[in-house]
Structure 1
Amino acid sequence: MTQPIGTDQHKRGGAAGAEDSRATATATHFFAFNGDADGLCALQQLRLAEAQQAVLVTGVKRDIQLLRRIEAGPGDRITVLDVSHEQNREDVNRLLRTGAQVRYFDHHFAGDLPAHPAFDAHINTAADVCTSSIVNGYLGGRHVCWAIVAAFGDELPQLGQALARAYGLAPETVASLAELGRHLNYNAYGETIDDLHFDPAVLADAMLPFADPSDFMRNTHVFAALCEGYREDMGKARALRPEREVSGATLVRLPHEAWARRATGVLANELMQTRPDSALAVLSPKSDGGFVVSVRVPAGKALGADDFCRGFDTGGGRKRAAGINHLPETECEQFIARFETAFRMP
């Protein structure tokens, strides 16, 4: 079995876990998960393995401060999947103070973790790891096919192929899992749940009966609907042209349309493939003003996408793919100038 390699942050309190003596018959289990492929597939693995009734808390891909929605008390348990601890730090501490247990699986920048006996963290920030691969290791590979789906959906094909080789999957099976991952991930992009083809909580419940992702694809209408929506949206997105392009930096501004908000992530990835040496920024208008920004940075650049985006309020992410949840219109020109200065090639 291939284990994630990288920098791990792991803190486990002796009182954490389902066997905690404080748990009662009335305790509630919450799953707070990112609505993208990685969050969905991490959730799917744990739900299949643990067979627990739980309250689902999720949203669009950029809706990461999920714990603010949860009210919990002694004996309750919150499992958090694929959202940054740094962005949820205050609510983690609030929930721990109430007597709840918090179990955390993630691969984003975490910041300082709480030293609390009811906090159980499995965090690995290496660039070649996703949350679902961390959960796969935690479960000993019990539902590895869902981790492979997530790896491809999270733009980590080498990880997906490595897991597939370790478990002896046929190439045609891997190709099918990769396609599912890409479509699940695509569905999470949007400003609100109404922008999406499917609410991630609805997707999660549709996936739950299927230990084998291939059965999910064959035996529900969901996959066909995701494919059709993707084809229609991307036909429009591929007709767009960059607003600004200098050596080493490309910027695209999307129209204020639901299809454009859905297409932003895939469009960014496709543009990176056609411009592999150029950093990319995609600006998507928000209904209440300002922009959501997606930033992609090629490997080997001294400045990562995450470090660049953290220079703005609500910015964060990973080294090669990051974003800003809200860029005010008044800061747009400043953003463009800083982006081109940071990544322009001589």
Structure 2
Amino acid sequence: MNYHVFNGDADGLCAVHQLLLDNPVRTELVTGLKRDIRLLERVKAHAGERVTVLDISLNSNRAVLMQLLEAGVAIEYFDHHYAGEIPVHPDLTTHIDTSAGICTSLLVDRHLEGKYRFWAIAAAFGDNISESANRLALQNELVQPQIEKLAHLGEYLNYNSYGETLEDLHFHPLALYEAMAPYPDPFDFIAESAAFKELAAGFLEDIRMTSSLRPLLQQARHSAYLLPDAAWARRVSGVFANKLANDNPTCAHAVITIDRAGGYKVSVRAPLASPEGADMLCMKFETGGGRKAAGGINNLPENALDTFLARFAEQFG
């Protein structure tokens, strides 16, 4: 039995899509919301079975990873988030690179020697590493209208992964993968898929709602926004953070949404001009993590908001 465990965002979707286009094995797919990062807990694999993990932090899944390895499960791990110490085990193969300009789909692209590169470019745009995405697009002789299509695709796929519950999303990530699966070429998916058209319409409507937002905190080198308690705000939080980062590349940004179970969820973007520190800031909080350029806190207690804002200002000056 094979298992593919992947983040439900653009990077996770495009990573698993590349691998299964290359090797379409029968597999059980395990995914969820953007912030469902402890996905290995859902895998019930046994000795002799194989698990491929994509775009979720090794450090956040370390205990279950070791249990599976000791049970005789073979694991291949692709990721770009903070990993901590990478275990050495004969049944573990890792492709981990936490550099700021890397995403998991680019690691898969490297592994597959560019076989489905346009999907990797879309993922890189979705993860807001646009410099890497543009460079790879130009190396592959894409023209500007094609590049813009892949950028929109990545952004829309990423947009679909944010929400407090699956009901907030336009598509369950599994359903979105199934819509992508027949398409080796993302340009065909863009031209033909009803799912793409629905995501585009939803994205444009939700991002329009952000035009009236005002910052909770605004300084020369950082800003923070508190979004209202609404499904559109939960959906748009990540792409709004990316938009702020792209519009103000020398500033850090935090987008805070209300967690209906209590407290807040936080998306952090380091300045694009110096994309480091987001993971270190978020890991100061119990449910925080991420990568150098972008991080998040899954549940910030209500009474810790002022502490977060102070540490955010301290981190990014």
* Stretch moving more, 294-303 or 68-77: 294-303
Contact 1:34–1:83 (CA under 8 A) maintained in structure 2: yes
Q: Structure 1 residue 308 and structure 2 residue 252: aligned?
A: no
When residues 302 and 116 of structure 1 are mapped into structure 2, their CA distance, relative to the original with a 3 A threshold, is closer
TM-score of the superposed pair, with normalisation by structure 2: 0.96
Q: Distance in 1 between matches of 2:246 and 2:141?
A: 29
Superposed, 1:1-346 pairs within 5 Å as: 28-299=1-272, 304-344=277-317
Aligned alpha-carbon RMSD (Å): 1.5
Q: Distance in 1 between matches of 2:179 and 2:275?
A: 42
- Bigger radius of gyration: 1
Identity %: 46
Contact 2:281–2:311 (CA under 8 A) maintained in structure 1: no
Q: Distance in 2 between matches of 1:272 and 1:140?
A: 31
When residues 161 and 339 of structure 1 are mapped into structure 2, their CA distance, relative to the original with a 3 A threshold, is closer
Amino acid at match of 1:181: G
TM-score of the superposed pair, with normalisation by structure 1: 0.88
Q: Deviations over 1:301-342 (max 9, x none)?
A: 696111111111111112221111110112112212222233
Contact 2:4–2:52 (CA under 8 A) maintained in structure 1: yes
Q: What's the offset of the Cα at 1:299?
A: 4.5
Q: Distance in 1 between matches of 2:119 and 2:56?
A: 18
Q: What's the offset of the Cα at 1:165?
A: 2.7
Q: Which runs of 4+ in 1 moved over 4 A?
A: 299-303
Amino acid at match of 2:184: A
Q: Distance in 2 between matches of 1:340 and 1:288?
A: 26
Q: Distance in 2 between matches of 1:159 and 1:292?
A: 28
Q: Distance in 2 between matches of 1:76 and 1:194?
A: 32
Q: Deviations over 1:119-169 (max 9, x none)?
A: 010111111111111101111111111111111111112212222233333
Q: Deviations over 1:239-280 (max 9, x none)?
A: 111122233231111111110001111111222334333322
Q: What's the offset of the Cα at 1:286?
A: 0.8
Unaligned runs of 5+ in 2: none
Q: Distance in 1 between matches of 2:94 and 2:43?
A: 18
Q: Distance in 2 between matches of 1:222 and 1:290?
A: 33
Identify, as 1 or 2, the structure richer in helix. 2
3-state SS of 1:294 partner: strand
* Stretch moving more, 159-168 or 45-54: 159-168
Amino acid at match of 1:231: L
Q: Distance in 2 between matches of 1:88 and 1:108?
A: 12
Amino acid at match of 1:171: Q
Amino acid at match of 2:94: A
Contact 1:238–1:267 (CA under 8 A) maintained in structure 2: no
**Aligned positions, number:** 317
Contact 1:79–1:103 (CA under 8 A) maintained in structure 2: yes
